[in-house]
Amino acid sequence: MRFGIVVFPGTWSERDCHYALTSCMGQQAEYVWHRDTDVSGYDALVLPGGFSYGDYLRCGAIARFSPVMDAIMQHADAGRLVIGICNGFQILCEAGLLPGVLMRNRSLQFRCETVHLRAETVNSPFTGACSPRQVLRIPIAHGEGNYFAGPETLVQLNRDHRVAFRYCGPDGAIADDANPNGSIESIAGILNDRRNVLGMMPHPERASEDLMGGTDGTLIWRSMIEAIVGAA
């Protein structure tokens, strides 16, 4: 598989994603600069974390207008996989590829810690390797990860099983004190209506080998790999 890792000015998790995909998962990965306009050679695209364009205006608000975004939208429209992590999730929301917005954390603090996530669906190319309601342990690092969407959007997300992950306790229980940023309904990651675009605030690339404290993030990468190989 060939992964394209999109780099905007201010991106800072691209090397972590490259290492996870190549050294931990044994896949091919290349960097895609924000001015590139052709991503046709990639099976999947990764929008990694960081502070694209310094997070001026709003997180992801300027990156949404980068030349590469038209190609990313075409890639998604063709049914190919796109995953946005942290700032990548914010960019996908700003671009309209995912519904809702990411706001300042409830605490108004930058939160850098390891959290627990519950897989809310295994019916997606990003969660197929998970067990139903499996609890994953994955780090976060963000100041604006407070997901919000209106009532109609939440009804659609829940009805169509498009909430991919929720923050939870180690036992899988949803609780307010397990929600690190105040996200509505403890949402940590969502899917688009075609289920080929995922946005999530936690960083699976930082949970891809035992040396870093755990390998639960590899379930997301493995799900993507198996989905693409199985569709070939």
Query: Superfamily for 2-231?
Result: Class I glutamine amidotransferase (GATase) domain (3.40.50.880)
How confident is the model over 14-34, as a mean pLDDT?
A: 98
Q: What is the per-residue pLDDT for 36?
A: 95
How confident is the model over 116-132, as a mean pLDDT?
A: 98
- Work out the pLDDT band at 82, boundaries 50, 70, 90: very high
Q: What percent of the chain has pLDDT over 70?
A: 100
Q: Which residue in the list 17, 86, 93, 168 is annotated as catalytic?
A: 86
Residue 86 annotated in active site: yes
Q: Maximum distance among all alpha carbons in the chain?
A: 45
Nearest to 192 by CA among 147, 224, 153, 228: 153
- Work out the pLDDT band at 230, boundaries 50, 70, 90: confident
Q: Which residue in the list 14, 94, 120, 205 is annotated as catalytic?
A: 205
Residue 205 annotated in active site: yes
- Work out the pLDDT band at 69, boundaries 50, 70, 90: very high
Residue 161 annotated in active site: no
Q: How do residues 143-184 score in pLDDT, each as one tens digit?
A: 999 999 999 999 999 999 999 999 999 999 999 999 999 999
